[in-house]
Every structure is written in C-alpha cells, then in structure tokens.
Chains A and B, each alone.
Chain A
Amino acid sequence: MPYDPAMTARTPTIDLATSRKRLWQESVGIAVSATGFGFVYGLAARGAGFSPIEAMAMSILVFAGAAQFAAVGYVASGLAWPGVILLTALLNARHLLYSAALSPWLRDRPAPRRAVMAHLLTDEAFALSIAHFQRLGRADERGYWIAAIASTFIPWNLATLAGATLGGQIADPSRFGLDVVFPAAMAGLCVGLVTGRRELVAAAVGGTVGVLASLALGTGIGIVAGGLIGPLAGLLVPSAMAHERAPLGTPASAERYAMPGGPHFETAAEADPPADDGGAGT
C-alpha cells in the first residue's frame, strides 16, 4: 500500500527550532555520504567515457543516484538510448510515491515552488523532510529546502565535478582497482534494496538473465532483459512468503534507496507507534 501520511501524522512532539536542529544534524550525515557517493559516481562516469560536463549534466538534470549509476553502466555497455530511458523511467518511478506522500503536506504551497521542489525530490530529501514534518505535525518549507538542497543537491554535484575532473587525470584506473568501483557499487546498492524474498529472487534472476542474455545477444540487451524479467520472477513469490520489510513509498524504502551508510531517519510513527498496525505504510 502506498505510504499515507494521514496514518502517521501526529500532534507536534517537538518545536520548530529543535526539529530543524535535528534536521541539520541528519543532513550533515547525508551530505557526507552524498559527497563520497557523488565522487565515486564522477569517477565511474569518467571511466565510462563521460566528459565532466556530461557527468555534471546527469547530476544536475536527472539528480537520481541509482539511475545515474545505472546510466553509466548502460552507456558503457553500448545500450541504445531508448533502453536507457525506459530503465531510467522504471527505476525512478518510485518517486511517484514519495511525491504522493509529501503532497498533502505541501498542497497549500504555490504551484511554481512545488514544481521546483519536485525536481529536487530524492530518496534522501523525502526521508529527511517527511520525518521533519511528522515531528512538527505540519509542513516546513524551509526544512524541505534544507533536506533537498543542503543535504544532497550541493554536495552531490560538487562531488560529481571533483570525481569527473580527477578521474580524467588518472592514466590507468585499473592499476588502482578503480575498474571495480562500478560493479561493486551496483552490487552494494542492490544489497541495500533487498528488503524481502521477492527482491532477492528478482536480483538473482535479474543477474542471471542479464549474464546469459548478454552472452547470447549482447550486453545492451542482456542488461535490459535482466532489469525487466527479474521483477517478473520476483512477483512469483507469494505475498505470504515475501517478508517485505520496506514497502515502496515508505520512509523505510526511501532509506534503502538513499546512500547506504547514511543516518537512520526515525519517523514519528517509529518513535510513537500506534496501537494498531498502522505503522508507516504497512
């Protein structure tokens, strides 16, 4: 079920200044993580043949870590652009649910500002801001900008620039093992997303189909086949056996997609769970 803030909204448990202080503290953790991760993305993009301006264009215009990393792999494998765009759309469709969860909080803000907020909506911005709103029991637009811009957009883009620039200075990246940064990052991110047995099956089948189809038909087709067929296999796992721990669209899910190693975002629902099972999005 999509995350429904009405299920977790509470009366304010904390004043604005205290909640913003906590938001800043959490944002610093995210910013450090985004800096490291953005640097690795810049290195990987450069290794895949992106120019610094192309790597930066991805970070500014797309601004979605997992999809950007995936695009580096797609481009390096020679995947045709329609395939890249299709998989990007599917990978980023989860934002629909974050946006839906934030919508009730932000519906009284001017539409142009909401349109800008939307571009900056990431896993990190969602997780930080929804936790902040829940602590306050109301929206705080400045809090959203802190979560979206200070914690992620600025550090991510500066680090991308640094990684893409420095990556081009290294004559033989494989000598330093930098050629494994990309697959290791993909595998690590994948592990972070395995929140139940369906994800495990989807990942295993996606990887296997990807390799087999690549050997038979080329890497471009293999990667798309793995990404599209893996989820179908995952859906064969019965709901009762799925043991899903982070349904899509919930803060728990956002935290999984957010840069691994960052802080844990405790929501009001976690801090003060309701008597029934109306926890965050379950």
Chain B
Amino acid sequence: MSVHLILLALLMAAVTYPSRAVPLLVPGIERLPKRALDYLQLVGPAALAALAAVNVMVVTQAGHQAFHVGVEWLAVIVSIALMAWRKNLFFGLAAGVALVALARALNLAA
C-alpha cells in the first residue's frame, strides 16, 4: 500500500497549522494588510474554479493536453445550478453523477 503521500499530508499540515495556531497562542500577531486579506478571500473561489474547469475541459493524451468537450460539462453545469438554487452540495452532486451514469448507460456519452 502506497504511503508516500503521507509526507505530503505532513507538509500540508505544517503550512496549515500556523494560521490556525498563531493567533490563539500569540494574540495580536495576526494583523494583515487589508489588501492581503482581500487577496486571500479570493483564493478559494479561483483555485476551486481552476480545478473544476481543468478537470472537465482538459484531457492529457500521450503526454499532450487537449481541449475536451463531453457530458461532464453538462453534469458540472447541472451541479452548479442546483447548488446555487438549493444551497445543497449533495443534491447537486447526486444529480450530476446520475446524469453522467444515465448518459453512459444509454450509450449517449463516452
């Protein structure tokens, strides 16, 4: 069983812990410029959007990246719409997964 990603987990924990611990252990040290706070506020949406978009729009074939269009787009769009409408991630996820499974079962999508 592979264990080499445990080291990555440790390193990720090492960069996460200070932001959780420093203000609790050393009160007052956390003050950041407003511009830095504004930037950090935007990292989440940007990073998650990049991950989602790259995951469904880019495929790697024989070491080269190619633009991909497929039923996964529709699944993600449906998930986004349901998440925005119902504020429930699982509802959106279930609908997206069901859509793709159905399309593949009916041979409508690869």
The answer to whether B97 touches A50 (Cβ under 8 A) is no
Q: Is B12 located at the chain interface by the 8 A CB criterion?
A: yes
Q: Which residues of A contact B45 (CB under 8 A)?
A: 190, 193-194, 199-200, 202-203, 206, 230, 234
Q: Shortest Cβ distance from B97 into chain A, in angstroms? A: 4
Of the four ranges (under 10, 10 to 19, 20 to 34, 35 or more), the interface on chain B belongs to 35 or more
Q: Is A282 located at the chain interface by the 8 A CB criterion?
A: no
Task: Please report whether the interface of chain B is mostly helix, strand, loop or mixed according to DSSP.
Answer: helix
Task: State the CA gap A50–B4 with chains docked (Å).
Answer: 10
Q: Is A198 located at the chain interface by the 8 A CB criterion?
A: yes
The answer to whether A53 touches B25 (Cβ under 8 A) is no
Task: Please report whether the interface of chain A is mostly helix, strand, loop or mixed according to DSSP.
Answer: helix
Which of the residues B35, B44, B65 comes within 8 Å of A91, measured between beta carbons? B44
Task: State the CA gap A228–B23 with chains docked (Å).
Answer: 25
Across the two chains, which residue of chain A brings its CB closest to B92? A188
Task: State the CA gap A176–B43 with chains docked (Å).
Answer: 32
Q: Is A279 located at the chain interface by the 8 A CB criterion?
A: no
The answer to whether A183 touches B65 (Cβ under 8 A) is no
Q: Shortest Cβ distance from B40 into chain A, in angstroms? A: 5
The answer to whether B8 touches A84 (Cβ under 8 A) is yes
Q: Which of A87-112 contact B (CB under 8 A)?
A: 87-100, 102-104, 106-107, 111
The answer to whether A234 touches B80 (Cβ under 8 A) is no
Q: Which residues of B contact A190 (CB under 8 A)?
A: 44-45, 48-49, 52
Task: State the CA gap A206–B51 with chains docked (Å).
Answer: 9
Which of the residues B6, B72, B93 comes within 8 Å of A185, measured between beta carbons? B93
Q: Is A211 located at the chain interface by the 8 A CB criterion?
A: yes
Stretch touching chain B among A17-25, A70-78, A149-157, A269-277: A70-78
Task: State the CA gap A54–B35 with chains docked (Å).
Answer: 36
The answer to whether B53 touches A226 (Cβ under 8 A) is yes
The answer to whether B47 touches A206 (Cβ under 8 A) is yes
Task: State the CA gap A192–B79 with chains docked (Å).
Answer: 12
Q: Is A219 located at the chain interface by the 8 A CB criterion?
A: yes
The answer to whether B101 touches A176 (Cβ under 8 A) is yes
Interface pairs (22), CB distance under 8 Å? A2-B32, A54-B5, A62-B16, A67-B12, A75-B5, A96-B22, A96-B23, A99-B22, A114-B21, A175-B101, A181-B96, A188-B79, A190-B48, A191-B80, A203-B45, A211-B67, A219-B58, A222-B58, A226-B54, A228-B46, A248-B40, A249-B37
Residues of chain B having any CB pair with chain A under 8 Å = 1-6, 8-13, 15-17, 19-25, 27, 30-32, 34-35, 37-58, 60, 65-67, 72, 75-76, 79-80, 83-84, 87-93, 96-102, 104
